[in-house]
Amino acid sequence: MSFSEIIAYGRYLPETLLKNEDLKKFVDTSDEWIFSRTGIKQRHIAEKKELTSHLAIKASEDAFNSFKIEPKEIDCIIIATTTPDNTFPSTASKVQNYFKISNIPSFDIQAVCSGFIYGIQIADAFIKSGKYKKILLVGAETLSKIIDWKDRRTCVLFGDGAGSLIISSSRKKNGILASKIYSDGEWIDSLYADGGPSLNQKVGKIRMVGQDIFKHAVKKLSESTEQALTQCDLSVKDINWFIPHQANQRIILSTAKKLGISEEKTISTVKFHANTSAASIPLAMASAHKSGKLKKNDILALCAIGGGLTWGSCILRV
């Protein structure tokens, strides 16, 4: 029996920083409102010519170089993104072309902010089935390109970035211990882009009824984390690090509190990165790894919620 071990972490953030004060140039807002309601102080913004695939490539290179892994060892590429370079081909195909690793599968998955948790479950199932042995899984977004910079309810919330994991087949009983993913299409109108190839041949801008998402977030994130813990016979007290989707500090801390997890065990990067959708969890994981927080055999609990609604959780041992 194979298990799915995390053998590398990578991340990339575009150079340009947009601070809360800078947003006053676009909309009627304040640092005080943004920070007190969301915990966000700044976000990174990609250049016009910097595409989601470029961010994904840089986060992958960081994982390859930091953990001395050759791109040619990879036998499957999965990119979670809501902001692909093109309608097609997939952003994963572009990443594959850059690294010149042909004749392996590469594809994008779209589950908005839950995309990385969906990707983890897919990668884990591929590895456990014996189909692939070393999967590059990336969450990458350039949300700044689909923001309506005149809408203060959304434009202050999002940022750009990418995070990556390399997940390898292992004989040791570690890595991904459990994962749960869910969706409820009843809430499609609460968070969406008002464009698409079939709808109106435009890309569209982000539209969100923030309170609808807020209402569901704490309950769904905590319940799915409990369900994933049950699936692998662990309990909340076994968790060393809680790494939730980074959308709002109030949601992060309320979910941790509901689960009975202390703030000290909760990883939060929302202050510096804002909401980077599918990139937020791998970015937070790579940041925690780089800062030396993650120790061998630590148990991590991940969870995310996003448009759809989609949500899910994952428990893993690093």
Q: Rule CB under 6 A: which residues touch ligand UT7?
A: 29, 33-34, 37-38, 113, 152-153, 156, 210-211, 213-214, 217, 247-248, 251, 275, 305-306
Which residue, judged by CB position, is nearest to ligand UT7 in the bound state?
210
Q: Which of 54, 76, 155, 245 is catalytic?
A: 245
Which residues are CB-neighbours of 278 under 8 A, at least 6 positions away? 80, 81, 82, 111, 112, 113, 114, 115, 116, 119, 139, 140, 141, 306
275 catalytic per annotation? yes
Q: Which of 44, 54, 76, 113 is catalytic?
A: 113
Pairwise CA distance, residues 35 & 18, whole Å = 14
Record the tokens describing residue 79, joined without a space.
């990119």
44 catalytic per annotation? no
Pairing of strands 175-183, 310-317: antiparallel
Task: Pick the closer one to ligand UT7 by CB: 53 or 190.
Answer: 190
Q: How far is the CB of 32 from ligand UT7 (least distance, A)?
A: 9
Task: Pick the closer one to ligand UT7 by CB: 19 or 173.
Answer: 19
Classify the C-alpha dihedral 237-239-241-245 as positive or negative.
negative
CB contact at 8 A, 63 and 123: no
Task: Pick the closer one to ligand UT7 by CB: 156 or 267.
Answer: 156
Task: Pick the closer one to ligand UT7 by CB: 20 or 168.
Answer: 20
Which residues are CB-neighbours of 287 under 8 A, at least 6 positions away? 11, 267, 269
Q: How far is the CB of 310 from ligand UT7 (least distance, A)?
A: 10
232 catalytic per annotation? no
Q: What amino acid positions are annotated as catalytic residues?
A: 113, 245, 275
